[in-house]
Amino acid sequence: MLSNTQIATLKGLIFCLCLVPLALLASAFFRDALGANPIETITHATGDWTLRFLLITLAVTPLRKLTHWHWLVRLRRMLGLYAFFYGTLHLATYLVLDQFFDWNAVVLDVLKRPYITVGFSAFVLMVPLAVTSTNAMIRRLGGRRWQALHRSVYAIAILGVLHFWWLVKADVFEPLIYALILAVLLSLRAWWREQERRRQQSAPPPLATGRSRIIPILPR
**Could you list the pLDDT tens digit for every one of the 220 residues in the chain?**
788 899 999 999 999 999 999 999 999 999 999 999 999 999 999 999 999 999 999 999 999 999 989 899 999 999 999 999 999 999 999 999 998 889 999 999 888 999 999 999 999 999 999 999 988 888 888 878 888 888 999 999 999 999 999 998 788 999 999 999 999 999 999 998 888 888 888 877 665 555 544 434 344 4
What are φ and ψ of residue 38, in 5° steps? -60, -35
137 and 131 Cβ atoms separated by less than 8 Å: yes
- Measured in Å, how far apart are the chain's first and last C-alpha atoms? 59
CA-to-CA distance for 86 and 80, rounded, in angstroms? Answer: 10
What are φ and ψ of residue 9, in 5° steps? -65, -45
CA-to-CA distance for 111 and 105, rounded, in angstroms? Answer: 10
Q: What is the pLDDT of residue 2?
A: 81
Q: H helices of the chain, where?
A: 4-18, 20-30, 38-67, 73-92, 103-112, 114-131, 135-141, 143-150, 153-168, 173-202
Quickly count: other Cβ atoms within 10 Å of residue 43's Cβ.
20
Q: What is the pLDDT of residue 184?
A: 96
What is the total residue count of the chain? 220
Q: What is the pLDDT of residue 51?
A: 97
CA-to-CA distance for 151 and 2, rounded, in angstroms? Answer: 28
CA-based torsion, 85, 87, 93, 99: positive or negative: negative
Question: What global pTM score does this model have?
Answer: 0.88
Structure confidence by residue, pLDDT tens digits, 115-154: 999 999 999 999 999 999 988 888 888 878 888 888 999 9
Crossing angle for the helix pair 173-202 and 153-168, nearest 10 degrees?
160
